[in-house]
Amino acid sequence: MLELQQVSKWFGGLPALQEVSFRVEPGRVTALIGPNGAGKSTLINCISGVDKVQSGSILLEKCPIEALPAHAIADLGVARTFQNLKLFSRLSVLDNVLTGLTVAAERAFIVSMLRLPALRHQERQLRLRALEALDEFSLVQKANWPASALSYGEKKRVEMARAFVSNPRLVLLDEPVAGLNTEETAQIACHIRRQRRAGHTMLLVEHDMELVMAVADQVVVLDSGRCIACAKPEEVCSNPLVLEAYLGRMEATA
Ligand code: ADP
Ligand code: MG
């Protein structure tokens, strides 16, 4: 689905990503882990087109996307959530999810200029799909609430519903359980597994190793901008390089 080939990125002479190569297989959950500052968010930003790589290639189903602007990459079916929530707090939960369909909606609008009855039909279809996405994330009862009235865990789920509503080819999840309690984390794990069963492909940046172990098919480990391992979750745990670079350092700071 997605292939990174020797991707490098510097910030003012300091390397953030150094010749990173790995693949994200279709229908699988690939987890991206590594200590703070390893380059995980930078990588997500490069894939979604927010940041540009300086060398290397990013292929979405064999098509190079590294030079495309963010909106073009979104149009190709790459959706994302943010490490820090980005919701419209005054809009309803349903309207927030509908913003995940804006590109499609804009096209629908142009069609509707020519055929008005089609507009009403399209609008209904979009709302139905948004409600379906909210239902997938157990939020349909709160569709008309203002987003600001939801708990932090519910807001995280609204972001996920917005990412999945357009049925994207690839979903990038940046720390979906950061700041959540055990119960909310378990709920998110359940939703990720459900989306995987529905055939979705995900790249998940996560610190919470329990979540990684519970949902990932494949784990990519970054350390100081380099990919130091790419393996099954159970193999990563016993990889000495990973233990030293990641888990060892975590224990040292604990
Ligand atoms: P992670 O998400 O794994 O914690 P980041 O991708 O945020 O790591 O950061 C990787 C490295 O790149 C860090 O050294 C960070 O300071 C640096 N970095 C990230 N974004 C910028 C930026 N916009 N400008 C300068 N340096 C940055
Ligand atoms: Mg980060």
Per-residue pLDDT tens over the stretch 52-96:
999 999 999 999 999 999 989 998 999 998 877 788 888 999 999
Last residue of a domain, one of 120, 141, 167: 167
Residues 163, 43, single domain; the answer is no
Residues 189, 240, single domain; the answer is yes
Report if residue 205 sits inside a domain: yes
Report if residue 64 sits inside a domain: yes
Residues 94, 32, single domain; the answer is no
Report if residue 115 sits inside a domain: yes
Last residue of a domain, one of 152, 167, 182: 167
Residues 152, 33, single domain; the answer is no
Residues 177, 250, single domain; the answer is yes
Rounded-to-5 percentages of helix, strand, coil across the chain: 45, 25, 30
Q: Relative to the CA of 222, which ligand 1 atom is closest?
A: 3
Q: What residue's CA is closest to ligand 1, atom 21?
A: 11
Tell me what the mean pLDDT of segment 98-125 comes to. Answer: 68
Residues 172, 250, single domain; the answer is yes
User: Tens of pLDDT along 162-198?
Assistant: 999 989 999 999 999 988 999 999 999 999 999 999 9
Considering the chain, what is the average pLDDT of its residues?
Answer: 88
Counting ligand 1 atoms within 8 A of each CB, the residue from 7, 14, 33, 42 with the most, and so the one to mutate, is 42
Q: Cα–Cα distance between 53 and 67 in angstroms, integer? A: 8
Task: Report residue 36's pLDDT band, with 50, 70 and 90 as the boundaries.
Answer: confident
217 has pLDDT over 70 = yes
Please state whether beta strands 170-174 and 202-205 pair in parallel, antiparallel, or not at all (unpaired). parallel
254 has pLDDT over 50 = no
Dihedral-angle region of residue 6 (phi above 0 means left; psi in -120 to 50 means alpha; beta otherwise): left
Q: What is the CATH number of the domain that holds 45?
A: 3.40.50.300
- Looking at the structure of the chain, the number of domains it has is 2
Residues 175, 249, single domain; the answer is yes
Q: Ligand 1: does its nearest atom lie under 6 Å from the Cβ of 35?
A: no
Task: Report residue 149's pLDDT band, with 50, 70 and 90 as the boundaries.
Answer: very high
20 has pLDDT over 70 = yes
Last residue of a domain, one of 120, 142, 167: 167
Residues 56, 73, single domain; the answer is yes
Higher pLDDT, 240 or 46: 46
Counting ligand 1 atoms within 8 A of each CB, the residue from 9, 10, 11 with the most, and so the one to mutate, is 11
Higher pLDDT, 26 or 208: 26
Q: Cα–Cα distance between 117 and 105 in angstroms, integer? A: 15
Report if residue 82 sits inside a domain: no
Residues 70, 125, single domain; the answer is no
Residues 63, 97, single domain; the answer is no
Q: Which tokens hold the place of 81? A: 């959530």
Report if residue 12 sits inside a domain: yes
Residue type for position 95:
D
Give the structural domain span for 63: 1-77+168-254
Q: Ligand 1: does its nearest atom lie under 6 Å from the Cβ of 150?
A: no
Q: Relative to the CA of 174, which ligand 1 atom is closest?
A: 2
Q: Ligand 1: does its nearest atom lie under 6 Å from the Cβ of 100?
A: no
Q: Ligand 1: does its nearest atom lie under 6 Å from the Cβ of 45?
A: no
pLDDT at residue 104 in the model: 55
121 has pLDDT over 60 = yes
pTM of the model: 0.87
